[in-house]
Structure 1
Amino acid sequence: MTIPVRPLILCGGAGTRLWPMSRDSFPKQFALRVGDRSIFQQTILRVTGPGFGRPLIISNQAYRFIVEKQLAEIDVEADLVLEPMRRDTGPAIVAAAAVAGRLDLDCPLLVVASDHVVRDTEAFRAAVLAGLPAVLAGRLVTFGIMPTHPATEYGYIQPAEDLEGEARAVAKFVEKPDVERAMRYVLEGFLWNSGNFMATARTLVEEYATFVPDSVKAVLLAADLAGNASGAFVLDAEHYGRAEQQSIDYAVMERTSRAAVVSLSCGWSDVGNWDLLWSVSEQDKEGNVSQGQVILSDAHRCFVSTDGPLTSVLGVDDLVVIVNRDAILVADRARSREVKQIVEGLRRDGRQEADTHPRVYGPWGWQQVMDQGDDFQVKRIVVNAKGQLALQSHGRAEHWVVVSGTARVTVGKKVRLLTPNQHAHIPVGALHRLENPGTIPVELVAVQHGRADGAVRAEDAYRRI
């Protein structure tokens, strides 16, 4: 590539069809792994290297520290734009384009979802190169996937006449079809709509302003007034909240006359459900995919994953079995797209398992509830090197026992260093803080007793409210 392409990574979705592994507090782009890395990390590495500029990631504020941790694990630096609330892909992309456009309005921006799988990276990069002439001519170039079967879970694109380079005009976009129409579309040369595309910041903003002018004004103001939070751009909440909640496809791509498409065959999948994830994962000779402590006996074409407990599966075919510490899913693999209905039912019932994992991440590390009752909790807490929890107080008494590392513990005016098998007691209402002054993680067990009221932060190194 002679012109650097700047990747713009969308990283704010929840992926409820992959519950219970993917939940709002820790969604599929971070939770799911195909191989050794999360699919978010695989996305970043796919658009890193010669021909690509510094990645720009737009994400929800709640995911900031997960993003930064997973970037550090693969040794990649990126710019980060944070949404104060979700407004769908349209406003998110325009906001990120506005930030990128401060440096160069005519730099090609490659907009990709962080929760897709691509098995042939070189084919993907070749398609990006093939789309550049059309992008530089002022077009919005989407990447249409060459179908491998008449899928009903994707939208389709009908290509038309040739344009610049290998791009073709878009005759029309069509919604997800039934089986009969999907078969017809495949025979007629339609492409799957991957949702990934490329355009300059100038083209993106101009076309969005053509169709949704009020939203563009709100988003551009939100970007102009973005605050700087330890190096991240935090969009102004008041103006961003005024933007109309729309997908980029509905707002622009399906309406613009400047759309073009480059066809692509790269082993792509949006891994939108367990069946699709099974299809792109490495399978054993019986067609099974297993993750974690799994024993399979006379099982075929199953997807079995556990995050701890030993899970045994005997004499079954085509099942999905997902074991988390607080939730278990057993489903017919062919019906796994219906899992979203379970999540919706859990939400109606007010069950926290719908959206929240037992492991909760913060800027300092993570904590996980291991056991709980009406008036107590037992937690495992891991504090990263140089990390620190806020100086805070709350209406529970706590007892901390250090398991590994060296912790600096503040209780009231007393500050102590604790090593493994040493402990500290925190009375109800006492100001306290846990820090890791060392270079290896600190792990401890915390027993909390009393009402689970909200903590009051007196000081916080990460400037959280």
Structure 2
Amino acid sequence: MIFPVILAGGAGSRLWPLSRQLNPKQFLPLTGESTMLQGTVARLNGLDVEPPVVVCNDEHRFLVAEQLRACGVEGAQILLEPVGRNTAPAIALAATSVAKTNPDAVLLVLAADHVVKDEPAFRASVTTAVTFAEQGKLVTFGVTPTGPETGYGYIRAGSYLGEGVAELEEFVEKPSVDMAQAYIDAGGYTWNSGMFLFRADRYLQELERWRPDILRACNTAMEQASDDLTFLRIGASAFRGCPEESVDYAVMEKTDSAVVVEMNAGWSDIGSWSALWENECKDSQGNAVKGDVILQDAKNTLARADHRLVALVGVDDLVVVETKDAVLVAHKDSVQDVKKVVEAIKSDGRHEHMNHREVYRPWGVYDSVDNGQRYQVKRITVKPGAKLSVQMHHHRAEHWIVVSGTAKVTNGEENYLVTENQSTYIPVGQVHCLENPGVIPLELIEVQSGSYLGEDDIVRLKDQYGRK
């Protein structure tokens, strides 16, 4: 039986302004209607797999849970990392969790932010790899190169063990264009996909052999782990002390049991805007467009408009991305430097790297429509049956105006319903709560006023989602 392990950490800063720290690329629908996480789950259909183990950041836990629920996944285990420590520790956490009851279980390790266009070919490669994993081999998947790509690492195959299967001879760092072309001309090289298949016990054995310090830290962190609703919260103090290392460096480059299975499945890690452009459908001029976009004499350009009309005239090789609160314009040759823009935003004390105007919560979503020195306006949507925390604020009062649906309001000692076109007022310091008792989404406008309007001015007294 295969246990999928989906690694869903990472910030995806090179895909700003769509990808933000609190809503990164793996939770966005970049290449279709489903998010990248949901696409990762969907391509497992047809394989004999258990519910997935998802390793993610604590701040993304509700995004993961909601997206798994939306695509019909039941019984998934969600492990919450207090900090990111790269792939070797993340896989160790998952392997330790699975090995408690299934020590010889086969783990299929996948990143949540990859694209695979040919899913039958993906599943065929996984099926081939299972035979070797059951024999104790540690399998990685090498993607058949389609060109001299410099954004990926490469794998050099050794002695062949069967059609499309070889001993792993060497990992090669991201090369120059000339060196990448030389690899392709020589043959025997594939792109390093970052996907793996091995038994849980074999991975832990090899990690103990080569990086016992990582294994010790992860074992202690798992011993300190605690249940939090449907999540498993990893012990923070032990995991913060864990060395940060990729599985390639920690195990795969050192072990003498590594095998590479070649995969020709239309794979991409969508690591930049140019990579997304390459994977999109294009018009006769090489333009990939999404949203309300008008092009005039434009070529080889990626343009995305989420909320308003974007017009491009006489341009080539550009990336133009419009969101509610930011617009990116970049040459396709320079998109790797988008992460420098994100760093500049951070250093300037701004917030556009953290989240969009629309912020998702376990109970729904809010959109910060307008704000000034002593006021802020939000449009709030509460899912049917959902309830915000019982809370109070030290510095702000709130007016709620219901636009559609019915709100059940706790306002101090009072409990009452507020319906469409009605409003209510929450004074500063008043204990209050908002709930949607209906079967349709509750939409309301919230007007905050006061001396401080930050999200950290929330004192939660009771919360059904386990938030502090």
Q: TM-score, normalised by structure 1?
A: 0.96
Q: Tell me, what secondary structure is at the counterpart of 1:151?
A: coil
- What do the CA deviations read for 1:324-353 (whole angstroms, capped 9, x no partner)? 111110111222122111111212222211
How many residue pairs get matched?
Answer: 462
Structure 1 SS opposite 2:307: coil
What SS does the corresponding residue of 1:296 show, helix, strand or coil? strand
Match of 2:463 in 1: 460
Letter in 1 for 2:403: V
| Aligned-residue offset at 1:165 | 7.4
Q: Structure 1 residues 309-318 or 87-96, which shifts more?
A: 309-318
Q: Which residue of 2 aligns with 1:110?
A: 108
**Counterpart-to-counterpart distance in 2, 1:336 and 1:233:** 37
- Out of 241-250 and 265-274, give the one that drifted further: 241-250
Matching residue of 2:87: 89
Q: Answer yes or no: is the 8 Å Cα contact 1:133–1:165 preserved in 2.
A: no
**Conserved in 1, the CA contact under 8 Å of 2:122 and 2:263?**
yes
Distance 1:93 1:403, change over 3 A: same
CA displacement at 1:287 relative to structure 2: 2.3
2:402 and 2:135 map into 1 onto residues whose CA distance is 61
Cα deviation digits, residues 218-267 of structure 1 (max 9, x gap): 21122233211112211111221221111111211122221110011111
- Cα distance in 1, alignment partners of residues 164 and 263 from structure 2: 11
Q: 1:62 to 1:458 in 2, by over 3 A?
A: same
- The equivalent residue for 2:97 is 99
| Residues 303 and 321 in structure 2, CA contact (< 8 A), matched pair in contact too | yes
Partner-residue secondary structure (3-state), 1:292: strand
Task: Tell me which residue corresponds to 2:153.
Answer: 155
Partner of 2:268: 269
Percent identical among aligned pairs is: 44
Deviates more, 1:413-422 or 1:143-152: 413-422
2:130 equivalent among 128, 132, 138: 132
Structure 2 residues without counterparts, runs of 5 or longer: none
Deviations 1:399-451 (A, max 9, x none): 11111111111111111111111111111111111111122211111111111
Mapped partners of 1:199, 1:165: distance in 2: 19
Give the gaps of 5 or more residues in structure 1. Answer: none
Say yes or no: does 1:431 pair with 2:434. Answer: no
Q: Distance in 2 between matches of 1:374 and 1:247?
A: 45
Counterpart CA distance in 1 for 2:281 and 2:162 is 38
Secondary structure of the corresponding residue to residue 352 of structure 2: helix
Q: Please tell me whether the aligned partners of residues 141 and 167 of structure 1 are also in contact (alpha carbons under 8 angstroms).
A: no
- Following the alignment from structure 2 to structure 1, what is the Cα–Cα distance between the partners of residues 23 and 127? 33
> How much has 1:369 moved relative to structure 2?
0.8
In 2, Cα distance between the equivalents of 1:412 and 1:311? 47
The alignment yields a C-alpha RMSD, in angstroms, of 1.4
CA distance in 2, matches of 1:62, 1:165: 43
Partner SS for 1:21: coil
Residue 166 of structure 1: CA displacement? 4.8
* TM, length-normalised to structure 2: 0.96
Q: Find the partner of 1:9 among 6, 10, 20.
A: 6
Asked if structure 2 preserves the Cα contact closer than 8 Å seen for 1:398 and 1:447, the reply is: yes
Matches of 1:164 and 1:137 in 2, distance apart?
15
- Secondary structure in 2 matching 1:354: coil
Aligned to 1:217: 216
CA contact (8 A) 1:6 1:53 kept: yes
SS at match of 1:163: strand
Equivalent residue, structure 2, for 1:187 = 185
Q: Is contact 2:376–2:453 with CA below 8 Å preserved after alignment? A: no
| More deviation, 381-390/309-318 | 309-318
Residue 55 of structure 1 deviates from its aligned partner by 1.2
1:293 deviates by 2.3
Which residue pairs with 1:20 in the alignment?
17
Supply the distance in 2 between the matched residues of 1:299 and 1:416 (Cα, whole angstroms): 57
Secondary structure of 1:206 counterpart: helix
Give the corresponding residue for 2:255.
256
Question: Which has the higher mean CA deviation after the structures are superposed, 156-165 or 249-258?
Answer: 156-165
Report the Cα distance in structure 2 between the residues aligned to 1:313 and 1:436, rounded to whole angstroms.
43
Runs of 4+ in 1 over 6 A off after TM superposition: none
